[in-house]
């Protein structure tokens, strides 16, 4: 991985969550390719695949609201309270870079998740126990974060931040997986 500044593309979110996620994924891939250039030649590093997930919702008065990594338990609980009872979108951009840093394509996948209505006590309990402070939206589907939702539409793996159906389709297109 790299220390790529994901927040530098925040201004693109209101224009398009897809564009924002894809630009971050491309930036991460380019940063990783640049790191690769200073390493001794390793055939195993021929391809770089990078992804970035944006968690967001539509709001009648504010438009789109993006949920960043909260960093603190207080902010995480507040994010979950904004998510409670709402339709949430997880948009993940995926970029694939090949030999010599050539860009071989990128795409996005959006998973739609309907959060159940839960209490502040439920949100606080989840945050205190699982501490998803480095997760956009303040939840992880890999743990009890799944219990916060009542319905998921789309690629299930997309709401975990790495849409495997999209990734496999991209790898097939460049011949890294059988067709």
Report pTM: 0.88
pLDDT at 1: 47
- The DSSP bridge partners found for residue 107 are 94
List residues bridging with 151 in a β-sheet: 114
- Give the integer Cα–Cα distance in Å for 48 and 131: 30
Q: Running along the chain, 179 residues long, what does each successive block of 10 average in pLDDT? A: 74 91 90 71 72 95 94 98 98 87 82 98 98 96 96 92 93 88
Q: Are 160 and 154 contacting, i.e. CB atoms less than 8 angstroms apart?
A: no
State the pLDDT at residue 10. Answer: 83
Q: What are phi and psi of 42, to 5 degrees?
A: -135, 115
Kindly list the catalytic residues. Answer: 52
How many residues are recorded in the chain? 179
Strand ranges across the sheet with 103-115:
63-67, 48-59, 87-97, 103-115, 149-153
- Cα–Cα distance, 62 to 65 (Å, whole number): 7
Q: Any alpha helices (H) in the chain, and if so which ranges?
A: 17-37, 73-83, 120-130, 164-173
The confidence score (pLDDT) of residue 41 equals: 62
Q: Residue 83 is encoded by which pair of tokens? A: 């998510």
């Amino acid at each position: 991985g790299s220390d790529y500044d994901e927040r530098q593309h925040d201004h693109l979110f209101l224009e398009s969550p897809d564009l924002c996620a894809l630009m971050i994924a491309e930036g991460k891939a380019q940063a990783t390719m640049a790191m690769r250039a200073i390493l001794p030649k390793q055939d195993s590093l021929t391809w770089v695949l990078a992804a970035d997930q944006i968690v967001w919702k539509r709001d009648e008065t504010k438009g789109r609201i993006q949920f960043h990594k909260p960093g603190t338990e207080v902010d995480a609980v507040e994010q979950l309270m904004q998510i409670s009872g709402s339709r949430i979108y997880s948009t993940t951009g995926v970029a694939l870079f090949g030999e010599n840093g050539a860009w071989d394509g990128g795409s996005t996948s959006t998973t739609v998740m309907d959060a159940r209505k839960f209490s502040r006590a439920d949100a606080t309990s989840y945050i205190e126990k699982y501490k998803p402070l480095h997760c956009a939206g303040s939840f992880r589907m890999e743990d009890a974060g799944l219990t916060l939702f009542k319905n998921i539409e789309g690629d299930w793996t997309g709401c975990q931040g790495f849409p495997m159906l999209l990734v496999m389709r991209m790898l097939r297109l460049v011949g890294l997986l059988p067709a």
